[in-house]
Every structure is written in C-alpha cells, then in structure tokens.
Structure 1
Amino acid sequence: MLLSHGRAVWMMVGATFLWATAGVVTRHLDEARGFEVTFWRSLFTAISLLVILPAWQGRGAFARMRASGWALWVSGLCWSVMFTAFMVALTLTSTANVLVTIALTPLFTALMARLFIGQRLPTRTWGAIVVAGAGIAWMYAAKFEQGELLGTLVALCVPVAAACNWTVQQYAHAKGHHVDLVPAVLVGALISSAATLPLAAPFSASAHDIGLLAFLGLVQLAIPCVLAVTCTRVLKAPEVALLGLLEVIFGIALAWLGAGEVPAPAALAGGALVIATLALNEWIGWRGRLQPRQARA
C-alpha cells in the first residue's frame, strides 16, 4: 500500500487513540479482575493476529516465523511481559499513572541501548532522563502516601520490558537480522495467555466482560499494532515517538470522560512534566537530524 506522509501521521494518531481505549474499557468490566483480564485480552489478541497475519503477509507468514532467529522469540517474551504488566497495573492503579509510566519507554530504551550496545546519548537525553525521573518520583510519592504504590511499580515493568525489546531489535538489526513486529506481538500474546491461564482461575468474567475483553484484543491491540507497523515504513522514529505520546492524553481523557476517573493532581502535575520533557527531547532530536538534510538540499 502506497502511503503518504500525511496519511501515515493520521493513521498513527488513530492507532494511538485505539491503544488509549484500554483504561476506559477496563473500568466497565463487571467481574473480571487481575490475571483473568490479562488472559482474555492476550487470548483474543492472539486469535485476531492468527487471522490478520496471513491475510496481511500471505500464507508464508507462519513459515517465516518458524525460520526466524532468536531475536523474534526474545521480542515475543518481552511483549508478553508488557501485555501482562499493563493490564494488571490497570486493575491496581489509575489509568493516568499507568500511561504516564509507560511513556518513559523512549528514555529507558535510550539508557539501555547505551549500557548494552554502546549507543552514545546526547546531553539533552541525560537531562530528559533526570527531569522525567523527577516527574515520576512526584507521582510515586503521592501513591506511597496513599498506599497504592504497587500498581505504579507493576506499570514500571512495561517500559523496562519495552526497552529490552527495542534494544534486542536494534542489536539484531545491526547483526543483519530483521525482527518483524507483528509476529513478535503474536508470540507475546500466546506466551502471555498461556502464562496467565493457571493464574486466571477460577474464571469470573461475565458475557459482558468477555465482549469488552474481545474488543481490547482485536480493536485496542491487534489492529493498531498492524497500523503502527505500516506507519513506521513512512514515518521516522522520532515522529513515531512523538505521536505515541498522544496515547497518554487520549487515555486520560477517555478514562475521565467515559468512566469518571478524575486523575489526581500529582498525576496531572508529574505527568505533564514527563510528557513535556519527552516531547521536547524528541522534537530537539528530530530538528537536529532535519537541519543537515535541509542544508544539503
């Protein structure tokens, strides 16, 4: 599919909006909680991708998966941790806290890439890590006072696993091995559903819950994943990172308007500091890469 830059931007905005529906949908569950929520969402994601993947990449998609190297399976394991921690965190703390915490992924990735594969970090990124860390500490302090620190700590597993995922992919790419994102997500969904199955029993989800969790598996995760992969063929990494921050804004707004979940003042203040820092860091990096190309033109 030929995709213009403008259409790719709007497609990525649409993907972030779909990702952001997790919080508000989770708040409308009747009985399902904890690992059962993760199990059903991961299961429906896997089922959806088992249909979407061959339709999108052809009949040879699964054969290519079997022939893929170690990086695909490590990436899938990272995705499984992300799926599990994200949904469990949503059942333990506010949508705002979860989304702001996982928005730290670009900084965690930059730091992990520096530690494990030797990528140099510009001074602005070190500064962004410090400032964003202060914003998260602000949120953590409030949660500690309220005795709700656990949910935020579980949410912290998401950016850590995501950073491992992207670092593995960068390392594999440098060695000449491309990691296809959508099959890796499928592997992650299968691992997550299998790992949480024994922890989900006894099942208590109502038919209403199953319908909402099927929505999360297909519309909130499988479809936007395919959209985002399509967009990355046109958009640069900093553009994807900046547009991805819209998930935080969309997610907090949807939970506020659709479920009456008013974010705490500390979450708004700390979250605003984190998002502004991330956006500024990515924008400066983007402009820095753009200027040499404009000068050559």
Structure 2
Amino acid sequence: MKTEYMKGFTLTALGVLVLSFDALLIRLIHSESFDLLFWRGILMSVAVLIWCRVRKPDQPLFSFDAAFIRSAVLFAVNAIFFVSAVNLTSVANVLVIICAQPLFAAIMSRIFLGEKSPPITWIAIVICMGAIFWVLAGSWNSPSILGDLLALGVALMLAGKFVNDRACSHRDMTPALITSGLMIAAVSLVLGSPFSLQGAAWGWMVLLCFVVVPLAFIMITLGPTRIPAAEVGMLMLLETATGPLWTWIFLDEVPSTQAIQGGVVVVSTLLIHGVFQWRRSKRLAANVSSSG
C-alpha cells in the first residue's frame, strides 16, 4: 500500500511539474494562437490514440452520446482559451485564475449532481473568488483584461469537464481527448496558418505538443488513482508556483504585484482547504474501520 501511495504521489508531482513548462513553451514558440493550436490538437490526438490502443486495444475511440460530446467540446474550448490567454496576459495571472477550477467544480457538482460540499469549501470559494477579482482588477483598464477573462473561462471549462466526467465515472472518458484534439485542429485550420511556423518554433512546438502535454496528462491521469483527491489538489498547486517562475527565469517576465498577492491568497487558501479535507477523510476512514 505504501509503495502504491509513493508511486501515485511521484507520478502526480512529476506530471504537474512537466505541465508547468506549458506556458513557457507557448511563449518560446512565438506564434499566433491558432497556428500553435492546430498542431497541439493534432499531436495530442495522435498521442492519446496511441496511449488508448496500447492500454486498452478493444476500447472504442469515438462515441456520439451527449456526455462524450460534452467532454470533448469542454476540453477543446479549454485548450483554445488557455493558449489564447497565455498570449494575451501574464503567465502568473493565467495560472492564478485557473486555480479556481476546483472551486467552480464544487459549485457545479452542487447544481448538477446534487453533491453537498462542507462549509469550509464554501468559505474557500468566497476567499479565492475575492483574490481572483483582485487579480482581474489589476488588468481592468489594460489590454490584458481579455486574457484574464479567457483564463477564467479555462477554469470554468475544466470544471465543467471534470463534473461531466465524474457523472460518467463508470466509463473511461480518455478517448474524448482524441475528439477534442480533432476539434481544436479543425477550428485552427480555418482561423490560423499552421504551416507558417519558422525555425526553432517547430522544435519547441514538437516538444510541447507531442512530449510535454501528453506525458504530463498521462502521469496526472495515472497518479491520482493511488492517492487521496485532497492531495491531488495540493500537488496541482505546484503548477501555479513553478509556471510563472520558469517565465521569470527564462523570459524575464516579472509577475505583477496584484498577481503575486492574489496568488499567495489563492494557493494558501487551497492548501489549507486541502489539508483540512485530507485530515477529515482520514478521520472518516478511521471511524469506518473502527466501527467495522
């Protein structure tokens, strides 16, 4: 059991750390959003298709029911919003705002699935929303406000996808990522010029779309099956902490004061919430085992 826990913890942490280079590589590619998104969609579809065929050779790769289509569309919109947001505002702003995803998921779960969250979750939601509005206020009168709003859309789309997939927990929704990638590529082919990349941009693009993104999501998919959900949430905060650090080190992009302040509040709140939920789940498990 301890070995499985360490394996899950290591896989999740490494997956998040690999994913934290996503925004930096998008900046290094220096392309229009839809030029990059075409290749991101195509290569993600290929990587996930290979993964599905190796892992479950008999698994259907495409479905046309409402849940599958919703999952694919929500992830496709999330990817388009994310790349566009990184190109329009600071990486720190994007990652701080996306941190709200678990809290949006709690609200959606209450509305659509009838799942009740403890009072501490709602307190965390109010605090984090206040911090995110503080980050948004710093961009309200600047061109980067559109990027911040798109980042808010990323959090909403991801929350919607996770709630949708949770409602279908009896089935594996991984193949929906193949459809998502094809959707992203189709939209980008119309709105972008994917063959306009030049020089080193091709190398960064292959590294990002065929290695970093698939590898990160595969590890993040495998790791959480072995550790508690609260610890997964805490480990996901690594991206918020390290993502802006890479762009600061390699591109000299210094986060704004309000992004740093909002980020500290959001990360601290989610960390405290995660620790509380983790201890609560351990107490409940101990009570169940003792009563059994």
- TM-score, normalising length: structure 1: 0.91
Match of 1:249 among 241, 244, 249: 241
Distance 1:250 1:193, change over 3 A: same
Normalising by structure 2, we get a TM-score of 0.92
Matching residue within 118, 121, 126 for 2:122: 126
1:216 equivalent in structure 2:
208
Task: Indicate the larger mover: 46-55 or 111-120.
Answer: 46-55
Q: Percent identity?
A: 27
| 2:289 is the counterpart of 1:287 | no
How many residue pairs match? The answer is 288
- Note the aligned Cα RMSD (angstroms): 1.9
Q: Distance in 1 between matches of 2:212 and 2:242?
A: 13
CA distance in 2 between partners of 1:285 and 1:75 (Å): 27
Separation in structure 2 between the aligned mates of residue 171 and residue 114 of structure 1, nearest angstrom:
12
Find the counterpart in structure 2 of residue 227 from structure 1: 219
How many Å separate the matches in 2 of 1:193 and 1:276? Answer: 37
CA spacing shift, 1:232–1:72, aligned 2, 3 Å: farther
Residue in 1 aligned with 2:36?
37
Say which is worse superposed, 231-240 or 84-93, in terms of deviation: 231-240
Aligned-partner Cα distance in 1 for 2:212–2:121:
30
Moved more, 222-231 or 87-96: 222-231
- For residues 78-130 of structure 1, what are the alpha-carbon distances to aligned partners after superposition, in whole Å with 9 as ceiling and x for unaligned? 11111111111110011111111111110000001111221112111111111
Q: How far did residue 286 of structure 1 move?
A: 1.5
Give the conservation status (yes or no) of the 8 Å contact 1:96–1:248: yes
Matches for 1:150-229 after TM superposition, within 5 Å: 150-173=146-169, 177-178=170-171, 180-201=172-193, 203-229=195-221
Equivalent-residue separation in structure 2 for 1:196 and 1:35 (angstroms): 5
Aligned to 1:93: 89
The residue number in structure 1 matching 2:12 is: 12
Deviates more, 1:262-271 or 1:118-127: 118-127
2:67 corresponds to 1:71: yes
Contact 2:62 2:179 in 1 (8 A): no
Unaligned runs of 5+ in 1: none
Match of 1:263 in 2: 255
Moved more, 139-148 or 268-277: 139-148
After the TM superposition, which segments of 4 or more aligned residues of structure 1 sit over 4 Å from their partners?
none
Q: Deviation of residue 46 (structure 1)?
A: 1.5
Deviations 1:47-85 (A, max 9, x none): 22222321233x323xx2346853222211111111111
- Residue identity opposite 2:253 in structure 1: E
Secondary structure at 2:196 match in 1: coil
Task: Note the alpha carbon deviations across 1:14-67, whole angstroms, 9 max, x for none.
Answer: 10011111111122224x11221222222221222222321233x323xx2346
Which residue in the other structure is 2:45 paired with? 46
Equivalent residues of 2:39, 2:194 under 8 A apart: no
Give the distance between the partners of 1:47 and 1:156, measured in 2 at CA: 28
Q: Are 1:105 and 2:105 counterparts?
A: no
In structure 2, distance between residues paired with 1:277 and 1:170 = 24
Structure 1 SS opposite 2:116? coil
Among 58, 61, 84, the residue aligned to 1:60: 58
Q: Does 1:24 align with 2:24?
A: yes
133, 136, 140: which one pairs with 1:137? Answer: 133
Does the aligned pair in 1 maintain the 2:23–2:243 contact within 8 Å? yes
Distance 1:249 1:223 in 2: 20
Contact persistence 1:19–1:221 (CA under 8 A)? yes
